[in-house]
Structure 1
Amino acid sequence: MKILVADDDPQLVRALRITLAAHGYDVVAAADGPAAIALAAREHPELVLLDLGMPRLDGVEVIHALRGWTQVPIIVVSGRTGSADKVDALDAGADDYITKPFQIDELLARLRALARRAAPVTGEPVLAFADVEIDLAAKAVERGGERVHLTPTEWRMLEFLARHPGALVTRQTLLKEIWASDQVSDSGYLRLYMSQLRKKLEADPSAPRHLLTESGMGYRLVP
């Protein structure tokens, strides 16, 4: 897999080159926003690691530019920890957000998750975790070989998360997908439905391992 690293910190870029190459990734790098866009157009990377605070073009502007012609997975890697920065990046079209400093194992796990998401689906689309199997084509869920009854809203929420495994899905995106409106505000609906899904699908709903909440941002389904 070819990865574009867009960051103006040469030490970080060098460290990522060495680490990612050791795990079998091919790395190309850009030090500013326009260079990142040009390199993406020329090299056609399969995933982009993008800093928000780059020279000449802000990372959010780079995301907007890329989304004008490609759906390549984008992980923002930034020192900005504010929820507004995260929401702006995700709303612009980023698939995930990780803050600096980060553990390389976490970054590699997120790379693998997005690679699975971007990989072409063969056969019937089925997602499995623990003893749960989600059949997206049949719109059915089984746990331990037994059918699990979900309400229509629970299914829509689970289905959208399952179609984006490993990726962070914002609350606003889920609200729009479930209720087909930008005007619906979250008055606890998502927390309620997520709680119900955990009771039905997690081994320990109070300590979920697969249906995760990203505080202040949204939710993630980790297979």
Structure 2
Amino acid sequence: MPLSLSTALTASLNALTHKALVIDRTGIILFMNNHWKTFPEHYRLSQAGGMAGSHYLQLFEEWITIPVQLTALANAVQDILQGGRLISSSEFFLHIPDQSDRVFSLDAFPLFTERSCGIQSLVLSLHDKGPAEPRPHEHTRSCHPLRPRRITGSLVPICASCKSVRSSLEEWITVERFLHAQLSLQFTHDICPDCIRQLYPQYAGVLNQ
């Protein structure tokens, strides 16, 4: 039997200042708040599949420009539903017709209600972070490109206490900064099950259900 959202809950979702989409455990769209409904028209985006009763991936595959980001979104949603994490935050490039791509952040988290028994539905929340910087294949390389300095050898000095890494410039930097410099990796915030149990014990019951 399809899930239904109460009038009070839909009114609360419509009162939010950000774009919010509600999906059930199978990925079917249950509800879109008013900000979400006006968002495709504002950016002149395709709305194919963007309606209640359709699958959320049908909507995002029309928008997301990098296929691996669509796969990452699907995996993150499944991980929440399976109890592997409580929330997921990620970024993706969204193709805007006749304009440069834009960067959007997407937060996915369970929608708990008084009648909830485990995780039955998720909220997907979008936030526009502005124009995307040109990717390497989209512009001419500058005369003085920034190149990451790489540490040679197989051993990376790391502090035994705070876990800072010593760079090739003899600076102590965070692991995140080090990996970004070495591998051009970008990071997004998440929280692991052990930390959920320690920091947010009131939510630990939703894990592994």
Query: TM-score, length-normalised on structure 2?
Result: 0.32
Greater helix content: 1
Report the structure number with the largest CA radius of gyration.
2
Query: TM-score, length-normalised on structure 1?
Result: 0.31
